[in-house]
Amino acid sequence: MSYFSVDLNSRPTSDHSKSEGLAHQQLENACRQQIYAASVRQSNLRENSTVLSEENSLVATLFAQCEWNVNTDADINTLAIQCPDLNSNLIVFEKVMRYAGALKAFAIGKVHVCSPSNQGTPKDFRVD
């Protein structure tokens, strides 16, 4: 299954599909924000500081460069993250895997992290 084959702009533009596309986009943004917020909370607990660390700033920049999609396959919602390069793939995978519990509220059952153009091996894990 191709995780990035659906272009929301290529679907028919009925009111129903527009609202569905908007809801889908909001879900993707909420997932990204939850992962980032969990990362910041954990970092602040370690550092005992509320100042945004340099590491969190770099993570925020990296997350912004990734493409985030939510797909449903066999009744399992999958958060698919496409990273800009192979190195980013490894960093994003590590960060997202650590804080995947933050996705439970969105009924995300699986996370798929990959690089563009099928560079390297995509990484998948279940959110339990």
Q: Which helix (H) or strand (E) holds 57?
A: helix 54-65
Residue 32: how many other CB atoms lie within 10 Å: 18
Residue 70, phi then psi, degrees to nearest 5: -115, 125
In this predicted structure, what is the pLDDT of residue 72?
82
- Domain residue extents for the chain: 13-126
Q: Is the pLDDT of residue 14 over 60?
A: no
Which of the four pLDDT bands, split at 50, 70 and 90, describes residue 10?
very low
Q: Is the pLDDT of residue 71 over 70?
A: yes
